[in-house]
């Protein structure tokens, strides 16, 4: 298992988004605007990040 991490910041609101997109944000641990979390770089997390890429700012750690 890789111990690489990705820093993810929510830069757009969840209001008015599809339910599946809100669920992806919750799955990444993002609850409010401008919140930053570090998640492990796995294919599952990358899929969620790719699905809501327009709401996020992503940095490799």
Q: Which CATH number does the domain 5-60 belong to among 3.40.710.10, 1.10.150.20, 3.10.450.50, 3.30.1390.20? A: 3.30.1390.20
Contact 29, 57 (CB under 8 A): no
pLDDT band at 3 (very low <50, low <70, confident <90, very high): confident
Comparing 52 with 61, which gets the higher pLDDT? 52
DSSP state of 37: E
Percent of the chain with pLDDT over 90: 93
Contact 55, 14 (CB under 8 A): yes
Instruction: With residue 50 as reference, give the H or E element that holds it.
Output: helix 43-51
């Amino acid at each position: 298992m890789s111990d690489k991490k990705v820093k993810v910041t929510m830069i757009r609101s969840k209001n008015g988004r599809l339910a599946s997109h809100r669920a992806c944000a919750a799955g990444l641990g993002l609850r409010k605007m401008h919140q930053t979390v570090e998640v492990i770089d796995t294919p599952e997390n990358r899929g969620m990040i790719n699905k809501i890429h327009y709401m996020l700012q992503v940095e490799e750690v």
